[in-house]
Amino acid sequence: MDPTARKFVAMTAAEFLATDQAEFGDAWRYELDEGVIVAHVAPSPEHGAILSMLNVAIETRLRARGRGGCRFEAGSGAAPGKQQRPTAKIPDGMVRSGQHPRVTFDVVSPSELRNIRTRDRRRAQLQDIDGVQEVVEIYQHVPAVHTYRRQEDGGWEFVPVNGLECVLEIKSNNHLGFVR
């Protein structure tokens, strides 16, 4: 499958997540977006380096504070629970506690910022995943992180963090606290 190709399939999110992605083609990663399988190209070296450093920082923090049933996952899929359409998202990383993702992480490349509606729709789909309390977007080209944190009333708080000396606070998981 062409890495930018889209192919409609009659498949539920659960079926998609249970299918070996090699069956869809030879792209790096696939997602199911409202019944359409979308191929993604491999990330840039910068994207991969950010994700690798995030993995180390979070795993180090979890080990130091006691895991509490939590782990960091890269490339795992999750489906929004309150939606009617077949959709399954694969964030760059997530912290899972038991069966539910609690925090999702996406490294946002400059090319993703060209279509802000697509980015906003992706964020909304991640926010709809059962258990997700925080959606974290790490910008690849500038030292900035945007966190969207679920509030008690069901709304979402926007928390920007900027600068090379910034500290990211993960409030939804007391095993993480602050991540540098």
Contacts 24+ apart (CB under 8 A), 162-171: 168/136, 170/95, 170/103, 170/134, 170/136, 171/133, 171/134
Give the separation between CA 109 and CA 106, rounded to whole angstroms: 9
pLDDT in tens, 57-87: 888 888 887 767 788 998 888 877 765 567 7
Q: What parts of the chain have a pLDDT lower than 70?
A: 1-9, 67, 82-85, 173-180
Q: What confidence score (pLDDT) does residue 112 get?
A: 84
- Residue that has been written with the tokens 């049933």 in this structure: 69
pLDDT in tens, 41-62: 788 899 999 999 999 988 888 8
Q: What confidence score (pLDDT) does residue 2 get?
A: 44
Q: What confidence score (pLDDT) does residue 138 get?
A: 94
Instruction: Quickly count helices (H) and strands (E) in the chain.
Output: 3, 11
Q: What percent of the chain has pLDDT over 70?
A: 87
List the domains of the chain with CATH numbers: 6-40 (no CATH), 45-179 (3.90.1570.10)
CB 145 within 8 Å of CB 30: no
Estimate to the nearest angstrom the gap between the alpha carbon of 16 and the chain centroid.
17
Q: What confidence score (pLDDT) does residue 61 get?
A: 84
Q: What confidence score (pLDDT) does residue 126 get?
A: 92
